[in-house]
Structure formats: C-alpha cells, structure tokens
Amino acid sequence: MARHEHLIIFQKTYDLLVRIYKEVHNFPREYKYGLGENLKTASLKALDWIILANSAINKTPYLKKVDQNIDRLRIYIRLCYSLKVISSQKYEVLTKVVDEIGKMTGGWLKTG
C-alpha cells in the first residue's frame, strides 16, 4: 500500500484544495461564507476520504464518498461560474481538475 502522499489522486485533490482556498479568499463577501465554505468543505472531505480509502481494506465505501464530494464540487463550481463569482478561465481549469479526479476515483473504484 502506497502512502497517501504518493498517490496521484491525493496530490491532485490536495492541489485543488489549495486552489479553492485561494479562490474563495477572493470571493465577494456575499458568496464567501456560504458557497465558498461549501466549496472548501467538499474539497476537504474528498481529500479526507481519499486518505481513509488508501488505508482501508474495503475501499468502496470511502471511494463512494469521494465520488459524492466530487459531484458536489462540480455543482458548486458551476454555480460559482453562473453567478459570475469566478471567470470562465478559472471555471475551465477547476472543472478540468475535478473531472480528472473523478475519473481517477472511478478507476480506483473499478479496481478496488
């Protein structure tokens, strides 16, 4: 079993979490404490579930939780874009990373 720090999915999710924290810091006040907090929480929970999945014998329940949080992130990011809280450029970058993590989660679910 690889340490969670060595997993590509962990690294990508960690990097996404850092990026989201930086983005939320720049949100207008009206979105920072509602939508922004939900974004941060969903990304943080996804990272937590990845860490737990890596050390579990039965990874499926943990990976399903990762997948649920990835779905939340997709919706929250889309909402940020629709409300013009983030630019189209940031939307594309965030969506690409979230989709990549989602594919990795799906692949891990199939193997584990």
Distance of alpha carbon 104 from alpha carbon 70, whole angstroms: 11
If one counts the domains in the chain, the total is 1
pLDDT digits (tens, 9 = 90+) for 35-82: 999 999 999 999 999 999 999 999 999 999 999 999 999 999 999 999
DSSP secondary structure of 11-58:
HHHHHHHHHHHHHHHTS-HHHHTTHHHHHHHHHHHHHHHHHHHHH-SS
pLDDT for 112 equals 64
Q: What are phi and psi for residue 12, nearest 5 degrees?
A: -65, -40
- Is the predicted pLDDT of residue 87 greater than 50, yes or no? yes
CATH no. for residue 36? 1.20.1440.60
Q: Please give the C-alpha separations between residue 39 and each of 25, 92, 102, in angstroms, as whole numbers.
A: 12, 16, 16
Q: Which domain holds residue 95?
A: 4-111
Confidence class for position 111, pLDDT limits 50, 70, 90: confident
Question: Tell me, what amino acid is at 58?
Answer: N
Q: What is the pTM of this model?
A: 0.91
